């Protein structure tokens, strides 16, 4: 309930400030603080989880930490260029300043997500659903290298 209220309030305030030319920069700072702030919180939580984790799952938290750092950079540069500075036209170099970190965020966060979603799945069932993660990881089985635990006869975690 509180999160819904905060999201609705944020949207109304952002829309109010973005409509007026004189207060458009305020909406840019609001967007910057919202997006980059949530990325910073995710970075802190990943760092805490990384410090408390031992074993195979450290690689997953390291990748998530790196991906959120890339997301923080992409959101910060995007909001500075487009929302705060309000550049009327951006060239390819300016666009690549936030496009490349965002692409790195997507690529780096892909491996931990696919490990979490498709670890321990049956190969007969998962052939239609998880062929992309298995192809990109180069594995033929249903388990990720970093997922701990054993699997039973049908792929369920024991």
Encode pLDDT of 26-76 as tens digits: 888 888 888 888 899 999 998 998 888 887 778 888 888 999 999 999 988
**120, 26, 121, 104: which is closest to 65 by C-alpha?**
104
Is residue 123 in some structural domain?
A: yes
* pLDDT score at 88: 78
Is residue 152 in some structural domain?
A: no
Domain total of the chain: 1
Is residue 148 in some structural domain?
A: no
Mean per-residue pLDDT of the chain: 74
Residue 137 has pLDDT above 50, yes or no: no
* pLDDT score at 69: 93
Angle CA 7–46–143, to nearest 5: 110
Is residue 53 in some structural domain?
A: yes
Could you give the maximum distance between any two Cα atoms of the chain, in Å?
Answer: 65
pLDDT band at 125 (very low <50, low <70, confident <90, very high): very low
CB-based contacts of 129, cutoff 8 Å, min separation 6: 118, 121
Residue with the two structure tokens 């973005």: 18
* pLDDT score at 95: 83
Residue 153 has pLDDT above 70, yes or no: no
**28, 11, 32, 25: which is closest to 74 by C-alpha?**
32
Is residue 145 in some structural domain?
A: no
Tell me the average pLDDT across 68-91: 85
Give me the percent of the chain exceeding a pLDDT of 90: 8
Q: What is the DSSP letter of 22?
A: T
**What span, in angstroms and rounded, lies between the C-alpha atoms of 39 and 69?**
7
Residue 133 has pLDDT above 90, yes or no: no
Residue 148 has pLDDT above 60, yes or no: no
Phi, psi of 98 (to 5 degrees): -110, -20
Is residue 55 in some structural domain?
A: yes
* pTM of the predicted model as reported, rounded to 2 decimal places: 0.65
Is residue 38 in some structural domain?
A: yes
Is residue 118 in some structural domain?
A: yes
Q: How many helices and strands, by DSSP H and E, does the chain display?
A: 6, 0
- Domain containing 88 equals 2-14+24-137
């Amino acid at each position: 309930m509180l999160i819904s209220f905060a999201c609705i309030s944020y949207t109304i305030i952002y829309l109010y400030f973005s409509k007026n030319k004189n207060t458009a920069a305020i909406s840019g700072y609001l967007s910057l603080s919202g997006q980059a702030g949530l990325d910073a919180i995710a970075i802190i939580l990943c760092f805490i989880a990384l410090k408390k984790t031992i074993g195979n799952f450290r690689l997953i938290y390291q990748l998530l930490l790196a991906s959120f750092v890339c997301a923080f950079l992409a959101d910060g540069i995007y909001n500075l260029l487009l929302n705060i500075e309000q550049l009327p036209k951006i060239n390819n170099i300016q666009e690549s300043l936030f496009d490349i970190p965002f692409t790195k965020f997507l690529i780096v966060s892909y491996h931990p997500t696919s490990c979490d979603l498709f670890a321990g799945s049956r190969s007969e069932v998962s052939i239609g659903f998880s062929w992309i993660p298995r192809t990109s990881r180069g594995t033929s089985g249903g388990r990720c290298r970093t997922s701990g635990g054993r699997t039973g006869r049908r792929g369920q975690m024991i």
